[in-house]
Amino acid sequence: MCVYRSSDGDFSTFLRSLESVVQKVQTRNKRLMLCGDWNINLMQESVRLHDVQELLSLHNLVNTVRFPARATKVIVSLIDVIITNKHSVGELARVMDLGYSDYKTQIMQLNVKTIVRKCNKI
């Protein structure tokens, strides 16, 4: 699921909505992957960062992006995330510069089981 949080959006609403989605997925015992721009700098201590980290820890989730996607002379930021269940993490996400903007791309390889279903001919 891709999630965007506007920098001027209500943070409490974001956190409640996020937790609701996480709980729904986990009650179905499914693998969870959240990605997107949350506009919370994971490289800078803050109350918001602490609240997000607490929610992730409570639900056994981990952010696989460890390197900043944007670094300028003024700021280094890690606001884009790829979050998954701790038991699903095969490797960490990579950050690549594609040369299109001042933001880098996050890439994560997933190993998924292929399910072959038989089709009935009509």
CA distance 1 to 32: 8
* pLDDT, tens digit, 9 for 90 and up, residues 84-93: 887 666 667 7
CA distance 122 to 118: 13
Residue 22 maps to a domain = yes
- Helices marked H in 1-122: 11-27, 47-58
What is the model's pTM? 0.75
Closest CA to 18 of 50, 47, 59: 59
Number of domains in the chain: 1
* pLDDT, tens digit, 9 for 90 and up, residues 63-92: 888 888 777 778 888 888 988 887 666 667
Residue 122 maps to a domain = no
CB 5 within 8 A of CB 41: no
CB 35 within 8 A of CB 82: yes
CB 3 within 8 A of CB 35: yes
Domain boundaries, position 48: 11-107
Residue 5 maps to a domain = no
